[in-house]
Chains A and B, each alone.
Chain A
Amino acid sequence: MQEDQPAIFAVVDPLCSRYANTLTGQFVSGSKIALSAFRPITSNTRDAPTESAGKDDVLIHMLQPEFVFDDPILRSLVAEANSTFVALQELKKRGSKAEYMKISRTYRSIIRACLEKLQDAIASAEEAEDADAQAKYQQYISIFYSIECVWHLSEILFLDPTPSNAVVPQLLDWIRFHFPASERMATDLLLLGREASDNDDYWPALKGLILQGQVDVARALLHLHPQAETPHFKLTDQILKTMPTYSMHGATSIQKFRSLWQYWLTDTERKISANILAIEPNLEELIQLVTGDTQMWNTQIQETEYWYEFFPGYLFYTNNACKHFELGNAANTWLSRWARLKGHNSNELQMKQLDRVILSLMENDMHQVIHAIQLMADNQWFVTHLTDLLYNAGQLQIAGENQVNECIKLRDSLLYDFGSSLMTRNSLWQLGMDYLDHCGQEGQAALALLLTKIPFRTEKQALKIICIAQKKGFFEAEQDICKIQSKKSLDEQRYGNALEWAIRSKDTLYVTTIADFLLNHYSKTGDMLCPDVIANIGAKMFISPRLVFLVKYFDFYQFYRKRDFLPAAELLVNLLESKITPEYFWPSLLIDSIPLLESKDPKILSKETCAILQHLETELVPLIDKKKKRLEKYPDEPINILKDYRIENIEEIINLLRLACARNLSRAIIIENTVMG
């Protein structure tokens, strides 16, 4: 984390400063901003080249917020945390403390695994002598190290309260975790057994352990000393052993604990002032620390780099029963002392961001914490997930009049921003979706919008997006994608593909438009496009009456081509009977019946022939008349009304049809009566 600074971004473009030009910037897509040189149009702008015409390159600079998750290691952090995030939402705010603790630990272990991978990456970058990569991973480590540290402390303070509200034992765990040097030394020394005390690290390790309140490990190390059985060592061990500790579970009352402590302390201080341990200065130092000796601790403080490094240890020996609400005061007192000893004037103490966040956490100032962690260069990953976790666990405490509402608003807006930023980055959309899915109505609407903005390149991806839209009930998004696909296919002259996408869009008008196109094409050219698709539409045709007509007409066309005239005739009559024949197709349809009517052995019975005749007289003839009248009224209109049939031809056709009907009727009646007779 860096100190607050305005982020100023400079772009070199001479055209921007030439003459009276300035700069303009606009959002162009997602979070991209296009910058370019600009000159306003005013009332006296004239249609003439500007003074700068042809002099400079005309450039557009595309800006985008920096995004750390393009790196594979951090990307897997996002992916892994995403599944934990969803598991958390599935608890629906009704989980137990243990469940929230488990979620918090899962998040932290994901961060720690990520830190390990980053360490490995640095090692390989070193091997490859790639300084840039090394610096990059070093930066990521410091970001995510801070995150883990703050997360851990938040977990202790907000998610894992002890029954007695005492915080010291957990703070010791936290500090041990983040300053593991003494513990590591101790582990190595314990393995050495009796030779441990010969090691240079022996006394520093012991002191480090005591400073972190790790009394039991310290005692184990002391036991390894060859002189462990001497009175001084035994006395030291005795003091440490009898030190009272405040039970986290509140088994002893605080008054009782205080009197026990006071008794033990007085006794120990008496022993030290009696110089009993003076002969073993190392031991005496340890015991002085344990009694909270001011001078001794002051010396140690000067060795530290971080204000909070020895704070939990000091609390352990001086205010063992410290409760959460007392922590803020204690921390501030300690910080002033630390600053004074380190030679800082506490008023102008330059604290690093992490130092400040830790203080704010101890002060229970969540407003400040959230504000500060928003500034981390992790694209809001941490603030979003931590706020959401605290919110879900009912531990997000923000002062304000309308507290509950504020918390929901804050958490929702963080999820909204994080989700949108993932969704507008190609390829992370599937992870981003889940955040928008859990932040209310606004999130749903943004999800519906952003789903349609994913620049899919294959049909498979389009179908994946459609599947999600269907599950979420985003009907418009689904329809939009299908229509875009259909339009693209039409432009590519892939009519079958376009028709299938149109059917998927469930937009009757759209399907009708394409069916019309296919029918028109057929009546113009006699060529049926994409027959394999039409043949397999089946029950899906019912989306549009025009499509039903197309499919049925196609069936007729198939029978006809196979010279299967009886079913063909039957279908044709059915089509004529139905009310779905488009106006422009009437001539085509009736002309199709001529060969059937003119067949020597009748294919169409008398009843059906009458029906055809009736349609001819009641549908086509009035239609022609109507068009004729219109033509008289507006003589300038193109003559080929009814699309491609000129009016003279139409009349000829009608006469042909009448004749054919009459002939077939006579043939049919003769045969029918003969057969029946």
Chain B
Amino acid sequence: MDTRMNTFFVSEKISKTRWLPDNLQASERFLTGSWDMPSNFVRLWRLQQNQYADDYNEFVPRCSDKQSFNSDITGIEFVTTDLAVVSSSDGRITIVEIKRAVEDDILQQNAQSDVLHKFNASGDAAPCTAVSVYEREIATVGEDGRLNIISANDVNQIRRTLEADSIALTAVKYVNPNEVLTANRMGVIRMFDTRATEEEVAVTAFMTSCEDERRPNYVSALTSHPTQPHIVLAGSEEGSITVWDLRQPGYPASYLSAHKSAITEIGFHHREPSKLFTASECGELWLWQQQSNMSITSMEKPVAENVNPWLNGERAKNRINVTCLISNLRKSINTFDASGSKLICGSDSEAIYLIDNIY
């Protein structure tokens, strides 16, 4: 593998980054969101060919436009190819629209919600900690323990509010149009059916595994398999990954120890589900790849025993290769997004990293 990494210092701590969805193979535009800055921004970037041919960097990102926010950006997800929802620590979500142009693309704010998350006793806004999107439905979770379901068409109309937890929620993920997973600071993941009535919201709850059960271990990242959404992976505070098969959620299907610190983001490649990436608080970025011969067999002969390697328990480790793409950065890699041959990631080192050739 010949991966190349380019570093660009951007003068802000990056909390989220997402490629713009592109129907063509490779996207050249992406969004970043910042946190813990005197003023925070969502920025729209575009990769440009480097004019200095002898330079090491083939592409250079250039900021086309930005929108300012008065609190930390906690999540960015796309609703359509031009609309994205941004969650922030003032308890709101904002819809931004990207207008592509030949020269300078434009980023504009289309709508902003009221405070969706707040603490009951004081009425103060609670940070919205994560957001997930399914078609035009948006799910948000916050430190107030609430799960909100909102339509992207009207962000001020909350379709559903569920008092999901009495402690802060850290992650949210749609697994199908009607079922949403939430995760909390104790390591508990719950599944909610958004159609059910208040009384009969059947909650399935399961707990992330932890090396030492006496240690706190919050769920720091959550994702599901792009083509087999019943496979759910959670990254945790201790740096491990727990995998469940939602068809049998009673016990974890696999438990893999990985990083030495909290996993900040976990996610599959947009088009190649055989590739999974994890980033960590101590500045690592790993690629987890199903061994190629295995994936070929599974495609040719979808027999029962040939289950997805992530569900393979102890044997999963033998069927998945781990490659370290970034190590020893020391500052947290908070976010990444992989699309086509390129991966972009953002860090507390106030830089964005572009990795090409992730094969």
Residues of A within 8 A of B (CB): 70, 72-73, 75-76, 79-80, 82-83, 86, 426-427, 430-431, 434, 457-461, 463-464, 467, 471, 491-497, 500, 503-504, 529-530, 532-533, 536-540, 542-543
A471 and B11 contact, CB distance less than 8 A: no
A72 and B11 contact, CB distance less than 8 A: yes
Cβ of B10 under 8 Å from chain A:
yes
B281 and A464 contact, CB distance less than 8 A: yes
Residues of B within 8 A of A (CB): 9-13, 35-38, 71-72, 74, 89, 119-122, 124, 127, 129, 143, 145, 165-168, 170, 185-188, 205, 207, 213-216, 218, 237, 261-262, 281-282, 330-332, 348-351
Known: A73-B11, A458-B129, A492-B119. 6 other contacts (CB 8 A): A79-B9, A427-B36, A461-B72, A491-B121, A536-B187, A540-B213
**How far does the alpha carbon of A83 sit from the alpha carbon of B11 in the complex, in Å?**
14
B72: chain A residues at CB < 8 Å are 457-458, 460-461
A538 and B207 contact, CB distance less than 8 A: yes
A494: chain B residues at CB < 8 Å are 119, 121, 145, 166-167
Closest Cβ of chain A: how far from B79's Cβ, in Å?
Answer: 24
Nearest B residue to A90 via CB reads B328
**How far does the alpha carbon of A314 sit from the alpha carbon of B251 in the complex, in Å?**
82
Nearest B residue to A543 via CB reads B214
In the A-B complex, list the 4 residue pairs whose CB atoms are closest, starting with the nearest: A496-B166, A72-B11, A539-B213, A79-B350
B35: chain A residues at CB < 8 Å are 461
B188: chain A residues at CB < 8 Å are 532, 536
B350 and A497 contact, CB distance less than 8 A: no
A80 and B9 contact, CB distance less than 8 A: yes
Given A79-B9, A80-B9, A538-B213, answer yes or no on A467-B262 (Cβ-Cβ < 8 Å): yes
**How far does the alpha carbon of A82 sit from the alpha carbon of B89 in the complex, in Å?**
28
B36 and A459 contact, CB distance less than 8 A: no
A70: chain B residues at CB < 8 Å are 38
Nearest B residue to A70 via CB reads B38
B167 and A471 contact, CB distance less than 8 A: no
A76 and B11 contact, CB distance less than 8 A: yes
**How far does the alpha carbon of A652 sit from the alpha carbon of B11 in the complex, in Å?**
72
**How far does the alpha carbon of A459 sit from the alpha carbon of B122 in the complex, in Å?**
17
**How far does the alpha carbon of A224 sit from the alpha carbon of B351 in the complex, in Å?**
48
**How far does the alpha carbon of A400 sit from the alpha carbon of B136 in the complex, in Å?**
72
B13 and A430 contact, CB distance less than 8 A: yes
A86: chain B residues at CB < 8 Å are 330
Given A76-B11, A530-B166, answer yes or no on A460-B350 (Cβ-Cβ < 8 Å): no
B218: chain A residues at CB < 8 Å are 463
**How far does the alpha carbon of A503 sit from the alpha carbon of B186 in the complex, in Å?**
10
A530: chain B residues at CB < 8 Å are 166-167
**How far does the alpha carbon of A504 sit from the alpha carbon of B237 in the complex, in Å?**
13
A427 and B37 contact, CB distance less than 8 A: yes
B281: chain A residues at CB < 8 Å are 464, 467
A542 and B214 contact, CB distance less than 8 A: yes
**How far does the alpha carbon of A467 sit from the alpha carbon of B264 in the complex, in Å?**
12
A467: chain B residues at CB < 8 Å are 261-262, 281
Q: List 5 A-B contacts (CB under 8 A).
A: A79-B9, A464-B281, A496-B145, A532-B165, A542-B214
B13 and A497 contact, CB distance less than 8 A: no
**How far does the alpha carbon of A76 sit from the alpha carbon of B10 in the complex, in Å?**
6
A500 and B186 contact, CB distance less than 8 A: yes
B349: chain A residues at CB < 8 Å are 79, 82-83
B11: chain A residues at CB < 8 Å are 72-73, 75-76, 79
Which of A461, A491, A533, A538 makes the CB contact (< 8 A) with B166? Answer: A533
**How far does the alpha carbon of A486 sit from the alpha carbon of B71 in the complex, in Å?**
23
Nearest A residue to B217 via CB reads A540
Given A459-B143, A497-B166, answer yes or no on A76-B36 (Cβ-Cβ < 8 Å): no
B262 and A463 contact, CB distance less than 8 A: yes
A458: chain B residues at CB < 8 Å are 72, 74, 89, 127, 129, 143
Closest Cβ of chain A: how far from B328's Cβ, in Å?
Answer: 9
Nearest A residue to B330 via CB reads A86
B9: chain A residues at CB < 8 Å are 76, 79-80
Closest Cβ of chain B: how far from A628's Cβ, in Å?
Answer: 40
**How far does the alpha carbon of A669 sit from the alpha carbon of B129 in the complex, in Å?**
59
Between B166, B170, B207, the greatest number of chain A beta carbons within 10 A of the residue's beta carbon is seen for B166
B120: chain A residues at CB < 8 Å are 492-493
Closest Cβ of chain B: how far from A400's Cβ, in Å?
Answer: 35
Given A427-B37, A532-B165, answer yes or no on A75-B213 (Cβ-Cβ < 8 Å): no
A497 and B122 contact, CB distance less than 8 A: no
A500 and B213 contact, CB distance less than 8 A: no
B119: chain A residues at CB < 8 Å are 492, 494
**How far does the alpha carbon of A532 sit from the alpha carbon of B168 in the complex, in Å?**
12
Closest Cβ of chain B: how far from A210's Cβ, in Å?
Answer: 30
Nearest B residue to A79 via CB reads B350
B186 and A492 contact, CB distance less than 8 A: no
Nearest A residue to B34 via CB reads A427
A459: chain B residues at CB < 8 Å are 127, 129, 143, 168, 185
B261 and A471 contact, CB distance less than 8 A: yes
Closest Cβ of chain B: how far from A278's Cβ, in Å?
Answer: 47
Given A461-B36, A467-B281, answer yes or no on A539-B13 (Cβ-Cβ < 8 Å): no
Between B71, B124, B215, the greatest number of chain A beta carbons within 10 A of the residue's beta carbon is seen for B215
**How far does the alpha carbon of A248 sit from the alpha carbon of B220 in the complex, in Å?**
58
B207 and A533 contact, CB distance less than 8 A: no
B185: chain A residues at CB < 8 Å are 459, 497, 500
Which of A75, A434, A500 makes the CB contact (< 8 A) with B216? Answer: A500
Given A73-B11, A76-B11, A458-B72, answer yes or no on A503-B216 (Cβ-Cβ < 8 Å): yes
**How far does the alpha carbon of A70 sit from the alpha carbon of B12 in the complex, in Å?**
11
**How far does the alpha carbon of A457 sit from the alpha carbon of B73 in the complex, in Å?**
12
**How far does the alpha carbon of A73 sit from the alpha carbon of B129 in the complex, in Å?**
30
**How far does the alpha carbon of A533 sit from the alpha carbon of B188 in the complex, in Å?**
9
Closest Cβ of chain A: how far from B283's Cβ, in Å?
Answer: 10
Closest Cβ of chain A: how far from B199's Cβ, in Å?
Answer: 17
**How far does the alpha carbon of A529 sit from the alpha carbon of B348 in the complex, in Å?**
38
B213 and A426 contact, CB distance less than 8 A: no
B207 and A460 contact, CB distance less than 8 A: no
**How far does the alpha carbon of A542 sit from the alpha carbon of B37 in the complex, in Å?**
40
A532: chain B residues at CB < 8 Å are 165-166, 188
Closest Cβ of chain B: how far from A500's Cβ, in Å?
Answer: 5
Nearest B residue to A461 via CB reads B36
Given A79-B351, A80-B9, A461-B36, answer yes or no on A493-B213 (Cβ-Cβ < 8 Å): no
B262 and A533 contact, CB distance less than 8 A: no
**How far does the alpha carbon of A355 sit from the alpha carbon of B168 in the complex, in Å?**
59
Closest Cβ of chain B: how far from A291's Cβ, in Å?
Answer: 40
Nearest B residue to A460 via CB reads B129
**How far does the alpha carbon of A138 sit from the alpha carbon of B214 in the complex, in Å?**
58
B351: chain A residues at CB < 8 Å are 79-80
B122 and A492 contact, CB distance less than 8 A: yes
Closest Cβ of chain A: how far from B63's Cβ, in Å?
Answer: 11
**How far does the alpha carbon of A82 sit from the alpha carbon of B11 in the complex, in Å?**
13
Between A86, A493, A497, A536, the greatest number of chain B beta carbons within 10 A of the residue's beta carbon is seen for A497
B237: chain A residues at CB < 8 Å are 463
A79: chain B residues at CB < 8 Å are 9, 11, 349-351
A536 and B207 contact, CB distance less than 8 A: yes
A491: chain B residues at CB < 8 Å are 121
B36 and A497 contact, CB distance less than 8 A: no
Nearest A residue to B71 via CB reads A457
**How far does the alpha carbon of A426 sit from the alpha carbon of B207 in the complex, in Å?**
36
**How far does the alpha carbon of A170 sit from the alpha carbon of B101 in the complex, in Å?**
50
**How far does the alpha carbon of A43 sit from the alpha carbon of B74 in the complex, in Å?**
57
Given A73-B11, A530-B166, A532-B165, answer yes or no on A539-B214 (Cβ-Cβ < 8 Å): yes
Nearest B residue to A86 via CB reads B330
Between A73, A434, A471, A540, the greatest number of chain B beta carbons within 10 A of the residue's beta carbon is seen for A540
A537: chain B residues at CB < 8 Å are 186
A427 and B38 contact, CB distance less than 8 A: yes
B205: chain A residues at CB < 8 Å are 536
B213: chain A residues at CB < 8 Å are 538-540
B166 and A430 contact, CB distance less than 8 A: no
**How far does the alpha carbon of A463 sit from the alpha carbon of B89 in the complex, in Å?**
15
**How far does the alpha carbon of A50 sit from the alpha carbon of B35 in the complex, in Å?**
47
